[in-house]
Amino acid sequence: MTAVALCPACVGTSDATDAASRAAPDEVILALPNIHCIACISGVEKALNATLGVAHARVNLSQKRATVTLSAPVAPEHLVEVLALAGHTALPMDTALLSTLGDATLRGLLTRIAVAGFAMMNVMLLSVAVWSGAAGETEQLFHLISACITLPALAYSASPFARNAFQALRAGRLNMDVPITLAIVLAAGMSAFETLFGGQQAYFDAALSLTFFLLIGRYLDQRGRQAAKSAAAQLAALEVPRVMRLHNGARDMVNFTDLRVGDLILVLPGSRIPVDGVVVEGESLIDRSMLTGESQPSTASPDSAVVAGEMALSGPLTIRARTVGADTTLRRMVTMVDQAEAARNRYTAIADRAARIYAPAVHLLALAAFLCWFMVSGDVRLSLNIAIAVLIITCPCALGLAVPAVATTVAGRLFRAGVLVKDGTAMERLAEVDTVVLDKTGTLTRPFARNDLLSGDEAQVALALASGSNHPVSVAIAASMPDATAADVTDIREVSGKGVSGLWHGQTVRLGSGDWLGQAPGTWVQIGDAAHRIALASDLRDGAAALVAGWQAQGLDVQLLSGDSAAETRAVAARLGIPTWRAEVGPDQKQAYVQALGDAGGKVLMVGDGLNDTGALAAAHASIAPASASDAARVAADIVLLRDDLTPLIPLPALARLARRRVLQNFAIAAGYNMVAIPIALAGFATPLLAAVAMSLSSLCVIANALRIRGAQ
């Protein structure tokens, strides 16, 4: 297994990530969906490090993954079993399909900022000496020293702009980096020419300060994008990389890619089903919630159809494969998500739309300044200096900072409130939203068990039995009794597809389905011959009602989609006051519904948490996922809610609209600055150095305006 790094964004260094993308073959990556604290990290690492063949194990809590370095061959399934015995759920991940975003791009930009800033300060110190009266050979020496500092610093620090400008020109188009690169090259080149041929004008500090401020803007923009990953890759990684194939009664571990239609596959409890197929032997509860949104597990037995991505909970299953590889349900979801992401990535940011007009206008203006002054004066050097000043003074530094400065300020404010903004254009798109589509199960509701009708002994026995199982119903029952003390139940055993049994005070106790206990349908706890029903329901998440009411008050059309039953969906919609709802909606139907709303002219915000929501999240104009969502859903979403309470999401649309207004104000500041500064530069009153100072002041004004969002209501 290897770990592969995401392709870095369009700026910064990429060589480091290319090298990092090839992990050693003796590494295994395990997904740990249920870890949540330092104790979990310690428990997982201790169990793995004590396993024969494991050299080192490291857990990443934020990604919910364990990276296991092997000293000898160990099957990933064995590591999963080790963690299961230690009480931790783990899933092997196909890291050939995984992408991890490293810090190489941001580190590269920070290094370039440091180099440009350090060089700028030193060159400015030399410039002060020149301004103070140094002349003759001393002035010439200071210019030469400045050139020796500036040219290597620019060659390194300005390389992202030059690389992007070259790529744009090679493609026959202009972007913001073309005038930036031209201004830097001309300012440095003209200064070097003046220095070598005894001129008195050198503007190395202007070129460096221009690069320094532009790199800061690029860093702010890149930092807002650092969490972006491919949801399709995350979905594909959930496929089981190695499976247990049965052949003539023998078990053989094979790669997922080696499976063929008709193969018999053994799926153990707690494992994800790798193919679409039919059960030929065994019985187990199946968790389909991540794929279909069904809140209650279903039972799979011989002749039951199962699909890739579902999880066997309580018993082993032997499955005959009907579809494998790219034809499975999970792979089709991957394709849908990939297509939806590609469509959404065609969104053009405000600054990019401005660049289409701004970049050619700047070049034409500088060219006109050069030609006019050359015709009037006949002095090439003077005309070129004025053209360079025009290029610098019109350099889109303030324009480049207009969006990232606001985005970073908004992202910081939201993060303190428990909301993580992952995508750089998320707030721009969120400001345009007019329709909200909400998932139900896991997003607005969560499983809830009522234990108020149970006596003390019944509650304690139910808690003890529920704690011995990782079944969703057992988890809900245990969570409903946070203050109860578990009874001293021994010999706890889980019966496939039925429930959990044990011994308490010499009598048999059971927790499970009514069919198993000879009772009416439902969930029951039985002590001896006495059985007591436990009511299960979906409880609204904290802040769900306030969220729906708040977004409706902001003029948004709120709708509800769910893979659950019509009765359950109707009840939740009625409680929340949502007039438009649909039930029993599959993953492809959710995505199609969101795309249809978009095709009709709507700007849709999708909020969901399951694998079944991933396609819709990627297809929506903007998207949100709670922290409890599946890894793939969190990756597909633009924004992640870090808290259980939904209340922090209420002001999000209004804040996005405020951020958009601040961006437009920043564009107005940049335009106003150009209206004043350009005539001065065209008239020949602005040297390249004064142009760089004016450009820097406009950038500071843009940043100050963006910071006003911190205190805005």
How would you class 374 by CB atoms within 10 Å of its CB: exposed for 0-12, middle for 13-18, buried for 19 or more? middle
Contact in structure between 98 and 29 (CB atoms under 8 Å)? yes
d(CA 223, CA 148): 32
Strands 604-607 and 622-626, by their bridges, are parallel
- Judged by phi (left if over 0) then psi (alpha if -120 to 50, else beta), residue 2 lies in beta
- Judged by phi (left if over 0) then psi (alpha if -120 to 50, else beta), residue 601 lies in left
325 closest CA partner among 271, 276, 279, 266 = 276
d(CA 591, CA 569): 18
d(CA 361, CA 367): 10
How would you class 305 by CB atoms within 10 Å of its CB: exposed for 0-12, middle for 13-18, buried for 19 or more? exposed
Secondary structure of 390-441 as H, E, C letters = HHHHCCCHHHHHHHHHHHHHHHHHHHHCCEEECCCCHHHHHCCCCEEEEECE
226 closest CA partner among 112, 106, 345, 346 = 106
Strand partners, 639: 421, 624
618 closest CA partner among 585, 591, 588 = 591
Two tokens at 246? 């049965």
d(CA 76, CA 73): 9
Q: What is the DSSP letter of 702?
A: H
Q: From the candidates 205, 276, 439, 638, give the one annotated as an active-site residue.
A: 439
439 catalytic? Reply is yes
State the catalytic residues: 439
